[in-house]
Structure 1
Amino acid sequence: MSPRTLRLEIEKTTRTTYMVGTELMVNLNRCAPHQSKFFTVKCTPNVHFKITPPTSEESSPPNLLAPNSSLLITMDEVSETANDNKLSVRYYGEKMEKLGNAILHLTAVEISLDVDADRDGIVEKNNPNKASWKWGPNGHGAILLVNCDSESTFRKTLDSEKEEINRVSDLKDMSTMVLRINGPPDLPQGYKLSMHITQTDSESVRVFRPRKSGKAHTSWKHKILKLFLKEHLMVVGMDKLAEEVPYLGGKTELEFFVEGLRFPDRGFDGLITINLSLLEPTGEGLPGTPIFTDKVMFRISPWIMTPNILKPMEVFVCSTSDNNAFLKSIKNLVDSCGYKLKVCHEYVNRNDRWMQDEIEFGYIDSPHHGFPVVLDSPRDQGLKDFPYEVLLGPDFGYVTRYIDHKASSLDSFGNLEVSPPVTVNGKSYPLGRIIIGVAFPTTTHGRNMTQVVQDFLWAQKVQEPIALYSDWLTVGHVDEFMTFVPAPDRKKFRLLLASPDAGYKVFRTLQKNGHGKAEMFPDFEEAITVDDILSDKKLQAENDYVQNCIDWNRDVLKKELGLDDEDIIDLPILFKMLEEYDKRGQRAAAYYPDMVNMIVLGDQLGIPKPFGPQVNGKCALETEMRSLLEPLGLKCTFIDDFASYHKLLGEVHCGSNVLRQPSTFRWWNLEL
């Protein structure tokens, strides 16, 4: 820290407050009387000074006044009372005649604005790195949560949108900041402490402090009045950029609560600086000038998605007029796994069954607290009120991004996935990488995920997104051709990809083994034989196209996730092209229930029942799936979603969602 410049005046007493640990610099020529040649300095014991440039060793006071003579003043201990330390400079002429005297009264204090800069959950004193941010296990910088849950159970409002703190429980969602003071009981007259932030940061943070209490009052009038008083006062935030904070005197601490208001996003890197300045009076009617400023920096926690390999906590599904059998199957699966099931009934979902498309679960985290946060998609169909009205609550946050145009199918969150942890070319992604679907790069009229959502996902930084080509699908979601399942070896997971080639291989093997007359969709009006499927040249051509699209994505995923072919399992799934979808040409949909579109609950998989050809009383497609997945220790349960989901162009994953435990990896330890 560079020295603070201080002016002295001849035959006047200058008073200032000194911050222990800093230096004051006095230019001795600025106030020297005309024809001054020498000077002497005297001070009380707690004041120390150094003359620069130093005088020669042979000389003794008085000191020769050089053109650049200065004093560097320091103090070791805080003052007991205001202005209790003194220093004087006496000037002399050529013949040692006294020309004038400048007097300085000093009040020494210690002031430190402190945060948990080392990220251990404790606010340490005066960490040297408290005003900056550094990623990594050896990094530093305090962490802030967006206060996006709601402590209220009635008339829900995000806590960050309320003007005041209504419940003490809300404080745990905020980060603690401590003002530590050591000094005399009172500052010299006119001095003030001011907390201040920039206009930009005021959109992202608020700071509260407890109401200063005086003597205890026990009268009934006081108790009633207290009910109507805010227990915590907002110091800075919103449009309030600066506010005086009390100097309590002695050796005291004043606790502040810092609240994040918005997530990192385009144009906002999540970094916030809070300043505390000591203001010195300059004259009646004039504003005080800052003579010392302490700074702290926070970084707002990103929103983090949870991959399939993390432990489930609760499964969410909709109840509709036609999905009772599906609902029963999901309930049986969830019960057998020992997890919770939350059913969203029709009066809430308004016959919108696509739970995966409406929301994506994630979380925020800090050394002292964390909680799940649901990201609400901009699709806004029947389930639009569910995330806010049902999920939002104490320690369950909510975030969304608004758009000013009609959402496309690619804005639904079946088009938003995240990989397990990976390492790619030596770079680690311990929280995985977000995966979204977009139009092919050469397409001029394709559908894309809306830009504001993409901007939000990129700004979180800790799960760098990957864009896949999904616009070739009628619905256009990445979960229609890929998912991840846990595995005991290699990278601890496998990427599952839909594969028409693998599907045709199963059907050709059936035909070769004499099962060409076995029927796909037995007992359904759509029943068709293996021979008929294999003789359909148009279907074969369509699936060749689909395989090309999936292979393009396969290569992207191998490169961006650092995968080998041994990390990928191809699932036997055929597709068909649908005619003139929304007047933009043909796009693909699953020919039979899309088995990759599954729900992953630990080692239990809920897979769409494909209704494949029967061989020896068993579905050949189910048999193939078991042979691919059971060697990994996974258990396959096939769920009938044919009428209630598949015919509506969705499957098990589309109709369900899973809240999972957060990763044990702390995001701030990521090397960026």
Structure 2
Amino acid sequence: MIHPRTLRVDYDKTISVVCVVGSELNVNLNRSAPPSSRFFSVKCTPSVWCSISPQPQETSYLSPTPLNGNSVLLITMTHASEFENDSKLSVWYYGENKEVLGRAILHLTAVEISLDVDADRDGVVEKDNPNKGSWKWGPDGHGAVLLVNCDSERSFWKKPDTEQDYISKVSDLKDMSVMVLRTKGPAKLPEGYKLTMHMSQGDAESVRVFMSRSPEVVNNAQSKKLLYNYFVRGYPLVLSSEVLSQEVPYIGGVAEMKFYVEGLRFPDKDFDGLISINLSLLEPICAGIPETPIFTDKVMFRVAPWIMTPNTLKPVEVFICSTSDNYQFLKGMRNLVAKSGYKLKICHEYMNRGDRWMQDELEFGYIESPPHWFPVVLDSPRDGKLDDFPYNELLGPDFGYVTRVAERKDVSSLDSFGNLEVSPPVTVNGKNYPLGRIIIGVAFPTATKGRNMTKVVQDFLWAQKVQEPIALFSDWLLVGHVDEFMSFVPAPDRKHFRLLLASPDAGYKLFRGLQKDGHGQAKLFEGLKYEEPRTVDDILNDRHLQNENNYVQSCIDWNRDVLKRELGLDEEDIIDLPILFKLVAEEEEEGKGNEYRAVAYYPDMVNMIVLGKNLGIPKPFGPKVNGRCALEVEMCSLMEGLGLSCTFIDDFASYHKLLGEVHCGSNVRREPFDFKWWNLEM
């Protein structure tokens, strides 16, 4: 890349000039000529290359050449100098009769300077990539990647590494992006010249830069002063929100100096994720006058987005809570996780303080750069009694933490993360979403009042860009979470997954079939303590319940159409699960009456945990036919056709009666996608 620079010269003067290899010095010959000059000639040493624009008719600049009003001398240096002022160039000016009127002499020192990053995203910092100063998405794209350093390397008094302005352990460096300053030239720069690294105030709110100490740096007198002022455990802080510009050492000969760039915050509504860092060579004018930049190199980073993981990715760990009343649930989950071959982590009562809703408190995701990735937990603003768990128990080395803080008045049940899901990869109308699409629940678009996921969380999710969110209507539910009526399971064919939807219509169809086959007296909830059994006939004769489920089916059908459109699904990609709901009154403000919203009539089988080919499903306690629960039989029939195994877990007393199910009470950390987010076509 050519960096042009206008250079002032004066006749009858000798000046020393530093030229960066790859840059071009432009000298307006007429502007610097003595009065009455009509001709000029140029002489230079072999390492200097020059030309004239516009090209004169004469083939040599060694003899007097006519001087035009717009004659510009173009000077470049082919390689770095070994010594200061080791190259020369002189411009001779002549009068009408070719008598010498004066001459300008340049003593030239050439240096190579390159600020480099991993612009081709292969894990190696290459030299002077021409695309290092910009960002482009896609497999043929360019631009370096930067991680938010949101894990914690400290064992005691831990907090995210972004909250400390020093490097506490060398292991912290792997969470940062390497930036290399490469220089080549004489042992030192001419007097007064210096290198400065700088960035804008806006970018400095999102990034910090540390410098690596090396033996070459320590032995340099200029850098000793820098290290004395900014040294912290061998990695001085160079740039931050308090220090926007900082001199960095020039090391003689052929040298490389590493810098470590640390991301401080994720993309959000007010931050597009792009960061620029600049390196300038400054030239002195005279004492008391500021230096002027004569060369600037720029690199650009994009902060890696937070990425959610869908049910189709391989599980790593399962998280559940232990409470005084959920023994049956714990027993079922232990057996399921052990059978599936994954790790189980139990949050005990001293930490959960009676809050069993592991899904609602947090969402697992990850961040990734070409050489490194680690999981990052997103902490919900619901801030229940589990609030300390993500920070105190999960944050640590290579396990990051992020949250979004909302005003308490703005937080509703829809801010719990049972209301935050993500689809498997899909293609919609030719547009590929290889990382899937985030799904959230909100109020109906035309509602004059209603609950919504808080704006700060929605803004955060939208700003990540790589999993474009879809908004569904979930406010019709009492709890209001999308996981109450939908889930995804892996499949061997079609799109490699199925969308599962709760369906009152499928429930009534099943019960009518039982009635037709003479099982109208079979009972739901049979054998459950404190629960009144109901026969199939009772349910089918309950007109009010039928009307309530017609309303629920309409709400789900609205979402069905949205999901088909936004995920590119056909009916064959959807499986309807036989689940009934009922409406219950939610007390409103005094004098405003009650609001009616839906809850599951019996354990909501769609609210399941997916562990590879093993499904942990709420035990529905449906009507028994020939000794087997008809709802379980139907569920097994639907899932086993996809090669999936159903395990039914008793969560009735400890979760269902408290308006949640298996999925609400569990969470799964999964492996990341193989697909690299920076290869997305945007």
TM-score by length of 2: 0.96
- Counterpart in the other structure of 1:612: 622
Q: Which residue of 2 aligns with 1:222?
A: none
Q: Which amino acid aligns with 1:179?
A: L
Equivalent residues of 2:7, 2:27 under 8 A apart = yes
Q: Report SS of the residue matched to 1:587.
A: strand
Contact map agreement 1:581 1:587 (CA 8 A) in 2: no
Q: Output the aligned Cα RMSD.
A: 1.4
Tell me if the contact between 2:319 and 2:347 (Cα under 8 Å) persists in the aligned partners: yes
Amino acid at match of 2:630: A
Matches within 5 A, 1:11-410: 11-57=12-58, 61-213=63-215, 229-406=232-409, 407-410=411-414
Q: Say if 2:503 and 2:578, in contact at 8 Å, map to a contact too.
A: yes
Aligned length: 663
| Cα displacement (A) at 1:581 | 4.1
> Partners of 2:675 and 2:286 in 1: how far apart?
55
Is the aligned partner of 1:593 residue 2:597? Answer: no
Q: CA deviation at 1:58?
A: 7.5
Number of the residue aligned with 1:480? 484
Match of 1:468 among 468, 472, 476: 472
Instruction: Report if aligned partners of 2:361, 2:416 keep a CA contact under 8 Å in 1.
Output: yes
Deviations 1:223-268 (A, max 9, x none): xx9xx95210011122210100000110110011111110000021
Residue-by-residue CA offset, 1:579-638 (whole Å, 9 max, x unaligned)? 134455100000000000000000000000000001000000000101111110000000
1:620-659 map, 5 Å: 620-659=630-669
Kindly provide the amino acid, as one letter, of the partner of residue 400 in structure 1. T
Change (3 A) 1:58 1:540: closer
Cα offset, 1:97, TM superposition: 2.1
Q: Secondary structure at the match of 1:580?
A: strand
1:574 is displaced (CA, Å) by 0.2
SS in 2 for 1:200: helix
Cα distance between partner residues in 2 of 1:282 and 1:328: 78
Alpha-carbon displacement from aligned partner over 1:38-92 (angstroms, at most 9, x marks no partner):
1111111111111222221478721111111110011111111111111111111
Displacement of 1:404: 1.7
* Number of the residue aligned with 2:223: none
Query: Which among 547, 561, 566 is matched to residue 560 of structure 1?
Result: 566
Q: Which amino acid aligns with 1:293?
A: T
Which has the larger displacement, 35-44 or 133-142? Answer: 35-44
> Which moves more between the two structures, 415-424 or 43-52?
43-52
Instruction: Measure how far apart 1:2 and its partner are.
Output: 5.1
8 Å CA contact 2:119, 2:144 repeated in 1: yes
Q: Distance in 2 between matches of 1:574 and 1:491?
A: 28
Q: CA deviation at 1:293?
A: 0.4
Match of 1:538 in 2: 544
Aligned pairs (5 A) from 1:480-559: 480-524=484-528, 525-559=531-565
Deviation, 1:98, is: 1.7
Q: CA deviation at 1:211?
A: 3.0
CA distance in 2, matches of 1:397, 1:365: 12
Indicate conservation of the 8 Å contact 2:167/2:232, yes or no.
no
Q: Which residue of 2 aligns with 1:665?
A: 675
Partner of 1:576: 582
Aligned CA distance change for structure 1 residues 215 and 118 (closer, same or farther; 3 Å): closer
Could you tell me which amino acid in structure 1 is paired with residue 26 of structure 2?
Answer: M
Secondary structure, aligned partner of 1:389? helix
Displacement of 1:405 in angstroms is 2.6
Q: Which residue of 2 aligns with 1:442?
A: 446
Kindly indicate whether the alpha-carbon contact (under 8 Å) linking 2:269 and 2:463 is maintained by their aligned counterparts in 1.
yes
Contact 2:166 2:232 (8 Å CA) reproduced:
no
The whole-number CA distance in structure 2 between the counterparts of 1:618 and 1:124 is: 65
**5+ long unaligned stretches in structure 2:** 220-227
Contact 2:478 2:586 survives alignment (8 Å): no
What TM-score comes out, normalization by structure 1 length? 0.97
What is the CA–CA distance in structure 2 between the aligned matches of 1:52 and 1:642, rounded to whole Å? Answer: 86
Deviation string 1:352-410 (CA, Å, 9 cap, x unpaired) is 00000000000000111000000000000100000000000000000000012332000
Note the alpha carbon deviations across 1:169-190, whole angstroms, 9 max, x for none. 0000001111111111111010
Q: What is the CA–CA distance in structure 1 between the aligned matches of 2:328 and 2:613, rounded to whole Å?
A: 23
> In the alignment, is the contact (CA less than 8 A) between 1:371 and 1:397 conserved in 2?
yes
Contact 2:490 2:612 in 1 (8 A): yes
Q: After the TM superposition, which of the residue ranges 268-277 and 523-532 deviates more from structure 2?
A: 523-532
8 Å CA contact retained: 2:216, 2:251: no
Distance 1:2 1:585 in 2: 68
Distance 2:72 2:650 in 1: 87
Structure 2: how far apart are the matches of 1:655 and 1:36?
Answer: 89
For the residue of structure 2 that corresponds to 1:3, the secondary structure is strand
SS at match of 1:51: strand
Matched, 1:457 2:461: yes
Q: What CA distance in whole angstroms lies between the structure 1 residues aligned with 2:420 and 2:278?
A: 39
User: Which residue does 2:224 correspond to in 1?
Assistant: none
Structure 2 counterpart SS, 1:622: helix
1:108/1:58 Cα in 2 relative to 1: closer, same or farther (>3 Å)?
closer
Say if 1:211 and 1:230, in contact at 8 Å, map to a contact too. Answer: no
- Distance across 1 between alignment mates of 2:641 and 2:129: 52
